[in-house]
Structure 1
Amino acid sequence: MDGPLRAGPTTRREALRLAAGLLAGGALSLGAAPVSSAEPFPTGAEDDCALDYDPQFEAALAEADARFPAEEDERKSAPRPRRILPLRRRYRVSARYGIRGPWAAGHHTGIDLAVPNGTPVYAVGGGRVVLARWSGAYGMAVTVRMPDGHYAVYAHLSRISVRRGARIRTGARIGSSGATGRATGPHLHLEIRVRRGYGSDVNPVTYLARSGARL
């Protein structure tokens, strides 16, 4: 035998060191515990999105969209409307758009950007806020109908900073990132839809790149 056996950590410092080592190796998981903005930038695969088709969210979105019908000036979009990135700090893509999986659409309908809990989130494009509330699997979410007819869904927020029915400009702060709803860690799920309904999603990376905003 090379050395004496130890029953385990005998001090609080040793216990903390052991726990840190297990976390780094992926042996432990803290589930959906939020990360404060003061903590290090998240790096684990636990920051992914677990949301799927949610009939309650889709019904609420349909009702809200009918309550705030698109006006004529909203339908007249510029050839190249201005778009920006939804985050102004460093992020990590924890789940790409289109990856295959058990989702109802058969693929991941948005892109997941891992950032610490409470990170400011900004509107990639201006438009009408048609929904700003708890949204089932999407958690605290904001949906904006943009002048080109596309819908931007910002999901898993920890805080919402806009009201339903409001008109907002590109770059307006719409809330803060979080891990609400079906999320396994703090991140922003950004989803771009051609139409209101689930399954009409397009690649956010391609959509934003057309106006020079590169994720």
Structure 2
Amino acid sequence: MGYHIDVPPRAGSTRRDALGMAAALLAGGALSFRAAAPASAEESEDSCSAHYDAEFESALASADERIPEDDDRGIARFGPPGRCALPLRRRYRITAQYGVRGDWLAGHHTGIDLAVPRGTPVYAVGGGVVVLARWSGAYGNAVTVRMPDGHYAVYAHLSRIGVRQGARIRTGAGLGSSGATGRATGPHLHLEIRARRHYGSDVSPSKYLARRGARLW
């Protein structure tokens, strides 16, 4: 059963938010579904705009600290050791590659955008603990999963969330449905992989998945 989340009023940027962004950046210290040819962020109508939200980062930090790392024990057994799954099980179009330069606070696109129709099921690339499953500001309705290797996966702009905070999930578990909530120009999944919890610690989702047996293209 899914949990529909109302979209709150969009807040304006403040000096406090800007300071929070800077602090976060300093702290940051086997299936294959081929995609269509990637498009640049400038060409796409189904991608992300500015992708930082101080309130979300604060909520993520608080929630993560409340879930002991001991909760991660045993999660590796929820899928083949060291293996990942693809987040979508239908054809998609890459509309913004990871690392594309642009107006994002990090200076580049921190995830990869996979355009699919609204309501397309989204699946966990790896097992882990659901740290947040809620409205997440610029990310819209989003699910953030902490995986046993210490990486975090953010699944953003969902139209529907299908898991609860604190849940332990298996690789390939259903997380919800794709959408265009938050700062998005059209329906797509923004998949972001972070080496640590903090914004700015992102790594290439394509390379992360490929090393674990799942290729995005």
Q: CA deviation at 1:184?
A: 0.4
Larger radius of gyration: 1
Identity of aligned residues (%): 74
Q: Closer, same or farther in 2 for the Cα pair 1:159/1:212, shift >3 Å? A: same
Structure 1: segments with no counterpart, 5+ residues: 1-40
Match of 1:198 in 2: 199
After superposing on structure 2, the runs of 4+ consecutive aligned residues of structure 1 that deviate more than 3 Å are: 72-80
Amino acid at match of 1:142: V
Match of 2:55 in 1: 56
Normalising by structure 2, what TM-score? 0.76
- The count of corresponding residues between Structure 1 and Structure 2 is 174
What are the Cα deviations for residues 64-114 of structure 1, in whole angstroms up to 9, with x where unaligned? 101112117549969951201000000000000000011111100000000
Match of 1:97 in 2: 98
Structure 2: segments with no counterpart, 5+ residues: 1-35
More relative contact order, 1 or 2 (CA 8 Å, 6+ apart): 2
> In 2, Cα distance between the equivalents of 1:105 and 1:179?
21
Match of 2:173 in 1: 172
> In 1, Cα distance between the equivalents of 2:105 and 2:132?
22
Normalising by structure 1, what TM-score? 0.77
> In 2, Cα distance between the equivalents of 1:136 and 1:182?
8
2:84 pairs with 1:83: yes
Amino acid at match of 1:81: G
Match of 2:70 in 1: 71
> In 2, Cα distance between the equivalents of 1:208 and 1:61?
23
> In 2, Cα distance between the equivalents of 1:46 and 1:112?
11
> In 1, Cα distance between the equivalents of 2:54 and 2:181?
17
Structure 1 residues 12-161: aligned runs within 5 Å: 45-71=44-70, 74=73, 81-161=82-162
Q: CA deviation at 1:53?
A: 1.4
